[in-house]
């Protein structure tokens, strides 16, 4: 295991719209700064630029709320069209909450891809225009794999990709970035069978490597700036056929539903 690593933020990326070539933009932006990707680099990419370039966005003006959405919208004081979009992205609503001090409440939802998060990850911030909602990419692992193939081929080396979103936590305040799409990067490092520093088995230790990377990216990823790509360099990690699904606790193991 190396004893140090560096992270840098890729500055100067453009805005993205449906059909834009995100991988091409990353390559051009790196090369304009005389930077290259090296073997073992990992890029954490905020999902919004992936979603936008893939067209995973929707305008509220196009949405007609269902009766379910209208009812739920009253409970949490949300635009019923926004609730309709959240329902369309969800397997189920875990909890609908509006505290007295909140103007607009929150729908804790199980996203159709399995992530449990606020409002099924449907978001207005960094949208191109008011009334636009940004969704998660349709298949974030596939998006990560495509980006990874393009970048690995261009720079003639194997890299890893983590696509991230920003989630709250049930028992802790503030948000951290988590991994929602993976290519090459292990979701969880398996340490079962290894020993601790004193020779006893580390039976239940399984660091969530991809989420550690995502959370770390938040140290350099400013929401208020256009800095959606963070490069990690110097880590030693095994190239792995992985999926963001490997980070999702099965409903049968959910202690809190």
**Sites for a second copy among residues 182-241 (CB under 8 A):** 187-189, 191, 194-198, 200, 202, 205-209, 211-213, 215-216, 218-220, 222-226, 232, 235
| Residue 140 in contact with a second copy, rule: CB under 8 A | no
- Within a 10 A sphere around the Cβ of 150, how many other Cβ atoms? 17
Closest approach, Cβ 99 to a second copy, in A, equals 7
Instruction: Check: CB of residue 163 under 8 Å from CB of residue 23.
Output: no
Locate the DSSP E strands across 51-141: 57-59, 90-97, 106-111, 116-118, 132-134
| Alpha-carbon distances of 205 from 159, 188, 238, rounded to whole Å | 26, 10, 17
Residue 19 in contact with a second copy, rule: CB under 8 A: no
Cβ atoms of residues 109 and 89 within 8 Å: yes
Q: Which range binds a second copy by CB under 8 A, 60-68, 72-80, 150-158, 163-171?
A: 163-171
Stretch binding a second copy (CB under 8 A), from 24-32, 57-65, 151-159, 175-183:
175-183
Hey, which residues between 83 and 102 contact a second copy (CB under 8 A)?
95, 97, 99
Q: Which is nearer to a second copy, 52 or 81 (CB)?
A: 52
Q: Return the residue of 19, 32, 64, 130 that touches a second copy, per CB under 8 A.
A: 130
Regarding 108 and contact with a second copy (CB under 8 A), the answer is yes
- Do residues 73 and 80 make contact, with C-beta atoms less than 8 angstroms apart? yes
CB of residue 179 to a second copy, shortest distance in Å = 9
Q: How many CB atoms lie within 10 A of CB 129?
A: 7
32 binds a second copy (CB under 8 A): no
User: Rounded to 5 degrees, what are φ and ψ at 55?
Assistant: 75, 25
111, 136 contact by CB (below 8 A): yes
With binding defined as CB under 8 A, does residue 116 bind a second copy? yes
CA angle 113, 20, 121 (to 5 degrees): 25
Give whichever of 99 and 156 is closer to a second copy, judged by the CB atom. Answer: 99
Binding residue for a second copy, selected from 66, 75, 126, 243, defined by CB under 8 A = 126
């Amino acid at each position: 295991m190396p004893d140090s690593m560096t992270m840098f933020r890729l500055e100067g990326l453009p805005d993205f719209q449906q059909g834009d070539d995100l991988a091409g933009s990353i390559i051009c932006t790196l090369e304009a700064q005389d930077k290259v990707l090296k073997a073992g680099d990992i890029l954490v990419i905020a999902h919004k630029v992936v979603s936008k370039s893939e067209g995973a966005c929707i305008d509220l003006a196009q949405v007609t709320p269902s009766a379910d959405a209208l009812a739920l919208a009253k409970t949490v004081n949300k635009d019923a069209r926004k609730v309709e979009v959240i329902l369309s992205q969800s397997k189920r609503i875990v909890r609908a909450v509006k505290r007295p001090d909140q103007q607009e409440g929150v729908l804790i939802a199980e996203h159709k891809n399995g992530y449990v998060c606020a409002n099924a990850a449907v978001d207005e911030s960094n949208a191109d225009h008011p009334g636009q909602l940004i969704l998660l990419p349709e298949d974030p692992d596939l998006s990560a794999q495509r980006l990874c193939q393009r970048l690995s081929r261009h720079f003639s080396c194997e890299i890893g990709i983590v696509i991230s979103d920003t989630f709250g936590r049930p028992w802790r305040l503030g948000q951290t970035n988590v991994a929602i799409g993976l290519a090459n990067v292990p979701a969880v490092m398996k340490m079962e069978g290894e020993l601790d520093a004193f020779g006893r088995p580390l039976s239940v230790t399984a660091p969530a490597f991809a989420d550690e990377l995502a959370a770390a990216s938040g140290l350099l990823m400013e929401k208020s700036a256009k800095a959606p790509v963070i490069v990690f360099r110097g880590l030693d990690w095994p190239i792995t056929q992985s999926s963001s699904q490997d980070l999702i606790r099965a409903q049968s193991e959910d202690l809190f539903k």
